[in-house]
Amino acid sequence: MTTLLVVNCNTTRAMTEAIAAVAAGAASPGTTVVGLTPSWGPASAEGYFESYATALAVLDAVLAHRDPYDAVIMAGYGEHGREGLRQAIDVPVVDITEASAFLACLVAHRFGVVTTVATAVPGIEDSLRTAGVLGRCAGVAAADVAVLDIGDVAETARALESAGARLVAAGADALVLGCAGFAGLDVELERRLGVPVLDSVTSAVRLAESLVALGKTTSTAGPYRRPDPAKAWVGRRPGA
C-alpha cells in the first residue's frame, strides 16, 4: 500500500478535492491519495508574492501532517518551495512542474506550457530553469484564466486551446497543463490540437509511485541534507 500526500498550494478546499480526485483516478491499485490544504495563505497563487507565501504555507502543512505517507506531490505549478521541502522530509517530493516537463521531454523535442495568467509566467520559467529543462521549452503562454475561474470548463478549454495553438505555432510539439486546476482537460486539448498534452497532476502521481516502488528518496549527500534540528528559532518553526 502506497500513500501519496497531494498538497494544494492554495487554501481553496474545493480545488484540493478536485486535484485529489484526478490524482486518485491516475493512481495504481493499492495507492491511496490524501489531499492536503494549507491552513493559511491566499485563495489562489498567481505571482511571486503569493507564491513565496504559499511555499511556507505548504511546508508548514506537510510538516504538521502526522499521518504516515510515502511521497509528497506539490500540486502548485511553478510554485516555490520544493527544494526546502526536499530538505525537510525523508520521502520523495515530486513537484508537478518538474514531473510534467520531464515526461514531456520523453515524448517531444520541445514542449510548451499553457498556464493561467501572465503574472504566473516568470515563476514557471524560473522553476523550469532550476529543473534544467527550460532549454526544451518553446514557451509559456497565459490563457488569461484566473485560477478561481477555472470551474467554467467549456470557457477554460477554449482559452487553453487558443494559448496552446500559439505554442504549437512557436515550435512546441507537446504541451503541458501549467496549473493543477486544469487537471482532466488534457484529453480534450490533445484532441483539439493534435499533439501530446501532459496533465501535471497525473504525471506527478506516476513518477511518485515509481520512486516509491524503486525504494528511492531524496539524496542527503548534498544541499538536501537535513537542517540542524538543534538550531535556535525565533517564533514558531514550520510544522510545530
Strand, coil or helix: 188: helix
Is 34 within 8 Å of 3 (Cβ atoms)? Answer: yes
Q: Quick check: 151 pLDDT over 80? A: no
Q: Quick check: 205 pLDDT over 90? A: yes
Q: Quick check: 194 pLDDT over 90? A: yes
Best CA proximity match to 180, nearest among 22, 68, 60, 11? 22
The percentage of the chain sitting over the pLDDT mark of 70, rounded to a whole number, equals: 100
Q: Quick check: 149 pLDDT over 90? A: no
Mean pLDDT of 129-144: 97
User: Looking at 109-118, 186-195, 231-240, which range is the least confident one?
Assistant: 231-240
Q: Which three cell numbers stand for residue 61?
A: 502543512
Q: Quick check: 122 pLDDT over 90? A: yes
pLDDT of residue 229: 87
Residues with Cβ < 8 Å from 227, sequence gap 6 or more?
Answer: 87, 88
**Interatomic CA distance for residues 110 and 170, integer angstroms:** 10
pLDDT of residue 150: 85
pLDDT of residue 237: 87
Sheet holding 71-75, edge to edge: 31-36, 2-8, 71-75, 93-95
Mean pLDDT of 201-221: 97
Better pLDDT: 119 or 184: 119
Mean pLDDT of 180-197: 94
Mean pLDDT of 15-32: 96
What tens digit of pLDDT does each residue of 40-98 get? 999 999 999 999 999 999 999 999 999 999 999 999 999 999 999 999 999 999 999 99
Mean pLDDT of 194-210: 98
The percentage of the chain sitting over the pLDDT mark of 90, rounded to a whole number, equals: 92
Q: Quick check: 236 pLDDT over 80? A: yes
Mean pLDDT of 99-106: 98
Report pTM.
Answer: 0.94
CA dist 232 to 48, 225, 228, 235, 239, Å?
A: 28, 18, 9, 10, 15
